[in-house]
């Protein structure tokens, strides 16, 4: 051990850092204590303290651990440790160590391993899942855009990689899925933003619960989650508003746009003639009332033969 360090506190706990309850705790503690006692006995170490480290979470500093035969040597650095243990015979195998002035090789993570290590950050996992779901929803709303669907699929797969590595809560995952379902439904259910708000709340709760089994080391940042939820809700609400607005807008292309438009008679309608509407000449029918050249008309409908059904209009239309 290095000076000013300590050893011990070997009582088993659950993956979330909490106490194991009832009969299961006794089983786990007894198993760990028996295993550690056997290791200590095999290597000529302090068996009583090994049992106390598990049952009472006993802890010793480096100096006391050396005095109580819990450790073999104390050294400030790795080279010093290698020099001190040179010539030592191991127990129980009896292997003699030749470590004096040994070459030390440091093995660092490769660039790819560093990238993978970064990708299991809980905040990044939630972000990638959010981007992925948003991209797929936009692609479903507007098939053929390609880019949102591509980015969404890639982001979602990267996020699922992180979920595969870290332990997750089923409740958190279900809340996240419910949030994404609420966001997607906003364009189809006219709730004036209520579903989007519910989705944002589910997103925050789900993200905070998602990595609860992984312990405090993998907590998600609350401000980051709230910012992501607000951004998602804002984007989805804006997209839903535009979609609903486009669906409710009147037709602006084709012959249907002529209905309700004003025009002027070019050739007398008696009852069939020609009218001028929106810069174009159309064959028209006025019914039983003849209309003279220059009379203003309004388009009522268009028949299958593209003949306009018109009626007299009170508003004058300039002849162009």
CATH of the domain at 286: 2.40.50.140
Q: Does a structural domain hold residue 318?
A: no
Distances (CA, A) of 85 to 73, 74, 96: 8, 10, 10
| Residues 68 and 84 occupy one common structural domain | no
- Beta strands (DSSP E) in the chain are 6-8, 59-61, 262-267, 272-277, 280-285, 296-302, 308-312
**Among 122, 215, 107, 129, which Cα is nearest to 176's?**
129
All residues at 6 or more sequence positions from 18 whose CB lies less than 8 Å from its CB, including other chains: none
- For residues 220 and 228, give the distance between their C-alpha atoms in angstroms, rounded to a whole number: 12
Q: What is the pLDDT of residue 138?
A: 80
In degrees rounded to 5, what are phi and psi of residue 129?
-65, -35
Query: Does pTM surpass 0.75?
Result: no
| Residues 172 and 266 occupy one common structural domain | no
Q: Does a structural domain hold residue 37?
A: yes
Cis amide leading into 320 (omega within 30)? no
- For residues 160 and 126, give the distance between their C-alpha atoms in angstroms, rounded to a whole number: 10
In degrees rounded to 5, what are phi and psi of residue 303?
-85, 180
| Residues 44 and 139 occupy one common structural domain | no
C-beta atoms surrounding 147 within 10 Å? 10
- For residues 131 and 152, give the distance between their C-alpha atoms in angstroms, rounded to a whole number: 6
Chain centroid offset of residue 82 CA: 47
**Among 224, 211, 213, 214, which Cα is nearest to 176's?**
211
Q: Does a structural domain hold residue 317?
A: no
- For residues 248 and 151, give the distance between their C-alpha atoms in angstroms, rounded to a whole number: 30
Distances (CA, A) of 98 to 43, 76, 85, 89, 90: 19, 19, 8, 10, 11
Could you identify the residue written with the tokens 């607005």?
A: 245
* Beta partners for residue 26, in sequence order: none
Q: Could you tell me if 176 and 203 are in contact, meaning their C-beta atoms sit under 8 angstroms apart?
A: yes
Q: What is the pLDDT of residue 246?
A: 67
Q: Does a structural domain hold residue 278?
A: yes
Q: Does a structural domain hold residue 308?
A: yes
Query: One digit per residue, pLDDT tens: the chain, 320 residues?
Result: 999 999 999 998 876 677 888 888 889 999 999 999 999 999 989 999 999 999 999 999 999 999 999 999 999 999 999 999 999 888 888 899 999 888 889 888 899 999 988 888 999 999 998 898 888 888 877 777 888 889 989 999 999 898 888 888 899 999 989 988 888 787 677 677 788 889 899 999 999 998 888 877 788 888 989 998 888 888 877 776 776 676 666 655 556 677 888 899 999 888 889 999 888 888 998 877 788 888 899 888 888 788 888 888 876 655 54
CB half-sphere exposure, 213, CA atoms < 13 A: 11
| Residues 128 and 212 occupy one common structural domain | yes
| Residues 140 and 85 occupy one common structural domain | no
Q: Could you tell me if 261 and 278 are in contact, meaning their C-beta atoms sit under 8 angstroms apart?
A: yes
| Residues 57 and 39 occupy one common structural domain | yes
Q: What is the pLDDT of residue 253?
A: 55
Q: Which domain holds residue 236?
A: 112-248
| Residues 92 and 118 occupy one common structural domain | no
Give the chain's domain count.
4
96: exposed, middle or buried (Cβ count in 10 Å: 0-12, 13-18, 19+): exposed
| Residues 150 and 97 occupy one common structural domain | no
From 107, 128, 160, the end of a domain falls on 107
| Residues 241 and 171 occupy one common structural domain | yes
- State both tokens at 157: 């797969």
Q: Could you tell me if 56 and 9 are in contact, meaning their C-beta atoms sit under 8 angstroms apart?
A: no
In degrees rounded to 5, what are phi and psi of residue 186?
-60, -35
Q: Does a structural domain hold residue 13?
A: yes
Q: What is the pLDDT of residue 40?
A: 92
Q: Does a structural domain hold residue 16?
A: yes
| Residues 91 and 26 occupy one common structural domain | no
């Amino acid at each position: 051990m290095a000076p000013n360090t300590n050893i011990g506190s070997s009582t088993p706990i659950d993956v979330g850092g909490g106490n194991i309850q009832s009969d299961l705790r006794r089983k786990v503690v007894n198993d760990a204590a028996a295993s550690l006692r056997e290791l200590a006995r095999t290597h000529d170490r302090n068996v009583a303290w090994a049992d106390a480290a598990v049952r009472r979470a006993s802890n010793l500093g480096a100096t006391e651990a050396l005095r109580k035969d819990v450790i073999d040597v104390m050294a400030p650095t790795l080279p010093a440790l290698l020099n001190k243990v040179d010539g030592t015979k191991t127990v129980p195998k009896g292997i003699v160590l030749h470590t004096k002035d040994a070459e030390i090789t440091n093995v660092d993570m490769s660039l790819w391993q560093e990238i993978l290590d970064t990708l299991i950050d809980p905040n990044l996992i939630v972000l990638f899942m959010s981007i992925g779901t948003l991209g797929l929803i936009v692609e479903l709303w507007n098939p053929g855009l390609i880019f949102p669907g591509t980015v969404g699929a890639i982001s979602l797969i990267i996020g699922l990689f992180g979920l595969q590595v870290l332990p997750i809560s089923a409740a958190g995952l279900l809340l996240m899925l419910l949030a994404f379902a609420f966001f997607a439904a906003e364009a189809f259910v006219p709730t004036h933003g209520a579903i989007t708000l519910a989705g944002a709340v589910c997103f925050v709760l789900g993200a905070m619960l998602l990595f609860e089994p992984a312990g405090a080391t993998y907590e998600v940042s609350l401000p980051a989650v709230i910012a992501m939820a607000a951004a998602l809700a804002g984007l989805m609400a804006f997209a839903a508003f535009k979609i609903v607005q486009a669906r409710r807008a009147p037709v602006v292309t084709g012959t249907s746009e002529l209905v309700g438009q004003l025009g002027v008679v070019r050739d007398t309608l008696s009852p069939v003639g020609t009218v001028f509407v929106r810069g174009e000449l159309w064959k028209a029918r006025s019914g039983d009332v003849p209309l003279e050249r220059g009379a203003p008309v309004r388009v009522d409908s268009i028949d299958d033969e593209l003949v306009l059904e018109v009626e007299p209009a009170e508003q004058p239309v300039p002849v162009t």
